Amino acid sequence: MKKSAWHASATRSTPSSLFRAGQGLCALLVLGLLIGLGTATTWAANKRWLVQFRPDTPPEVQEAIVAQSDSKVLQRFPSLNAMALKLPAHPGMALAMLQSAPEVVAVEEDAAITVPALPAEGGSQGLILPSLPGSNVYPWNLVEIHHDQIPLAIRGKGVTVAVLDTGIDPVHPAFGSGIRIEGGYNARAGENPDDWIDRNGHGTHIAGIIIASQQGQGVLGVAYKARLYAVKVLNDAGGGYLSDLIAGLLWIYAHPEKGIRVINMSLGFYQDSPLLHEVIRRLYQEGIVLVASVGNYDCGIPASEGGDSIGATSEGGDSEGGDSEGGDSGLDCTWQVKYPAQYPETIAVGATDETGSVTSYSVQGPAVDVVAPGGTRTAPILSTYLGSGFGLGSGTSQAAAHVSGVAALLLEVNPALGPQEVRQILQETATDLGEPWEVQGAGLVDAEWAVEVAGDWP
């Protein structure tokens, strides 16, 4: 359980009449660009498993045990003494053999992972923007967290963030045409590690909330002077596996020279994983801030009727959509904070709407740490999209990205902060919305106040 004994009692007033970036969008053209981000039954069709060996088991013995089970090695994790396997067509005997081997200490299912599906309230219905709001408009989501009150000199300079998602569009003009993109890595089994380009849209949308800056067009990231690494752990349809996430996190752990201080994980699944938790603990101990979305409640709302859809417009007005290959339009009827947000080392983020209230789709539970702007169908979040375009999206994915951006601001003003200090500052300065902890955590993130406190932190 992550609930703190301290509950925010901030004196800031709850926003009630903030400018809506999406105001008047009802007249805009609707395009159904569903990205297929429902529950993950199709990803679990071919059973995959993770096996961990005793630390003193030689690699050749590990390989021999796997060969005896007639399983295929998908990923190797030497630092964990573990492998990701695909079991044979009739997996029962193979699984029993692995579990009974004295050299094997643990076997767990390689769970399917998706970016969160959105309910009717949260979906943006694929709205197309014929034009962007303009430079005189400060996005409502940034006003809600008092970002507009932070000195302009503080915008994340010198801080590097990793986004574990579907990849990003590295040449998007709002990312400085690649200037603020440090690089990337494809952690997915069997794929080219150098191919971390986003062909889905979700990762680019999340990255934009953190680092986008499009002069004169009203598109602004929380920490637009920060640098970013794209770690691709989800495929072009927004799906992947636990082993892909572990591989992506291990890549960060193995490359401290990259200087990554913040990790954003706008994704999740319902299965506790000792292997994943071990990797997260290692990163936390190295001083890296880990931010994760709590997940979206979608019971009774098919993904095809308001699921996670990001409407987009590219330069010149041509629309770009996500690839629906492998997607799943099932229901997400589990009212439970997802992993990895459940782990105490992560900052678990729920979503608020344009009035500063917690959305009905934001999953509740004692693991919730804070909430941040996630948007709704009527007031979604404007951010970057494929094809050098921009799109609208909503959900706890977007909320987590706001918190990752604020974490970058705190680390800019005080690089000595560790992940626990960042969490404490975010919670102590959050605006109490008057909801139970399970709904709001400590409350709505207040970026201005958090930056002020971080600068004076011992």
Q: What is the DSSP string of 153-178?
A: T-S-TT-EEEEEES-B-TT-GGGTTT
pLDDT (mean) for 170-178: 88
Q: Give the CATH number for residue 164.
A: 3.40.50.200
Residue 405's closest CA among 322, 270, 291, 319? 291
Question: By the 8 A CB rule, do 108 and 273 touch?
Answer: yes
Residues 77, 123 share a domain = no
| Residue 410 pLDDT greater than 90, yes or no | yes
pLDDT at residue 135 is higher than 60: no
Based on the fold, state whether residues 199 and 76 are members of the same structural domain.
no
Q: Is the pLDDT of residue 233 over 50?
A: yes
Q: Report yes or no on 15 lying in a domain.
A: no
Identify which of 169, 216, 222 has the alpha carbon closest to the alpha carbon of residue 384: 169
Structure tokens at 22: 């999406």
**Residue-level pLDDT at 123:** 39
315 burial level (CB within 10 Å; 0-12, 13-18, 19+): exposed
Pairwise CA distance, residues 363 & 297, whole Å: 6
* Same domain assignment for residues 34 and 87: no
- For the segment 368-387, the average pLDDT, to the nearest whole number, is 94
Region 230-251: what's the mean pLDDT?
Answer: 97
Verify that 66 and 161 share a domain, yes or no.
Answer: no
* Of residues 426 and 218, more confidently modeled: 426
> For the chain, what is the mean pLDDT?
82
How does pLDDT run across 21-41, given as a tens digit for each residue?
333 222 222 222 222 233 333
Instruction: Answer yes or no: do 60 and 172 share one domain.
Output: no
The answer to whether residue 20 sits within a structural domain is no
Domain that holds residue 89: 48-110
DSSP 359: P
Clarify whether residues 242 and 316 are in a common domain. yes
Least confident of 173-177, 227-231, 346-350, 351-355: 173-177
Q: For position 23, what pLDDT does the model report?
A: 33
CA distances from 264 to 13, 71, 283 (A): 28, 33, 13
Reply yes or no on whether 165 is catalytic: yes
Q: Where are the beta strands (DSSP E) in 194-300?
A: 213-214, 219-220, 227-232, 239-241, 260-265, 289-293
CA atoms within 13 A on the CB side of 102: 1
Look at 129-133, 137-141, 210-214, 450-454 and tell me which has the smallest mean pLDDT: 129-133
209 lies in the same domain as 60: no
Average pLDDT of the segment spanning 35-56: 63
Per-residue burial over 331-365, b = 16 or more CB atoms within 10 Å of its CB, e = otherwise: bbeeeebbbbbbbebbbbbbbbbbebbbbebbbbb
**Which candidate in 146, 147, 172, 202 is catalytic?**
202
What does residue 168 show for φ and ψ, rounded to 5 degrees? -145, 165
Structural domain ending residue among the three candidates 91, 110, 129 = 110
Tell me what pLDDT residue 62 has. Answer: 98
Please state, for a pLDDT cut of 70, what percent of the chain lies above it: 77
The predicted structure's pLDDT at residue 136: 60
Is 19 inside a domain boundary?
no
Task: Give the model's pLDDT for residue 43.
Answer: 37
Q: Tell me: do 53 and 169 sit in the same domain.
A: no
**pLDDT at residue 221, rounded to an integer:** 96
Whether 2 maps to a domain, the answer reads no
Residue 90: other Cβ atoms inside 10 A: 8
Last residue of a domain, one of 63, 93, 110: 110
In a domain, residue 17? The reply is no
Residue 4 has pLDDT above 70, yes or no: no
Which of 110, 147, 165, 388 is the catalytic position? 165
Q: Which residue has the higher pLDDT, 240 or 89?
A: 240
Is 118 in the same domain as 75?
no
Whether pLDDT at 368 is above 60: yes
Give the whole-angstrom CA distance, residue 246 versus residue 187. 8
Asked if the structure places residue 14 within a domain, the reply is no
Residue 128 scores a pLDDT above 70: no
Between the alpha carbon of residue 250 and those of residues 7, 185, 231, 244, 435, the distances in Å are: 34, 11, 11, 10, 37
pLDDT class of 274 with cuts at 50, 70, 90: very high
**Hey, what amino acid is at 10?**
A
Number of domains in the chain: 2
| Residue whose token pair is 């993950």 | 40
| 308 lies in the same domain as 327 | yes
Omega cis (within 30) before 119? no
**Domain boundary pick from 79, 110, 141:** 110
Higher pLDDT among residues 370 and 134, named by residue: 370
Indicate whether 10 belongs to any domain: no
**294-348: per-residue pLDDT in tens?**
999 866 433 322 234 454 433 322 222 332 223 333 445 668 999 999 999 999 9
Q: What is the CA radius of gyration of the chain?
A: 21
Q: Does the predicted TM-score (pTM) go above 0.75?
A: yes
Least confident of 123-137, 176-190, 267-281, 410-424: 123-137
Say if residue 134 is in the same domain as residue 88: no
- Quick one: 261 and 401 in the same domain? yes
Q: Report d(CA 335, CA 350) in Å as an integer.
A: 13
Compute the distance between CA of residue 375 and CA of residue 399 in angstroms, rounded to an integer.
8
For helices 419-428 and 447-455, the axis angle rounded to 10 degrees is 130
Give the tens place of pLDDT for each residue, 197-211: 999 999 999 999 999
* Assigned token pair, 247: 């591989």
Active-site option among 213, 394, 397, 404 = 397
CATH code of the domain covering residue 82 = 3.30.70.80
Assess if residue 7 is contained within a domain.
Answer: no
Note the pLDDT tens digit of each residue in 69-100: 999 999 999 999 999 999 998 889 999 999 99
- Look at the chain and count its residues: 458
The residue to which tokens 């952690």 are assigned: 187
pLDDT average, residue stretch 396-401: 98
Residues 457, 377: Cα–Cα separation, whole Å: 38
Mean pLDDT confidence for 5-34: 31
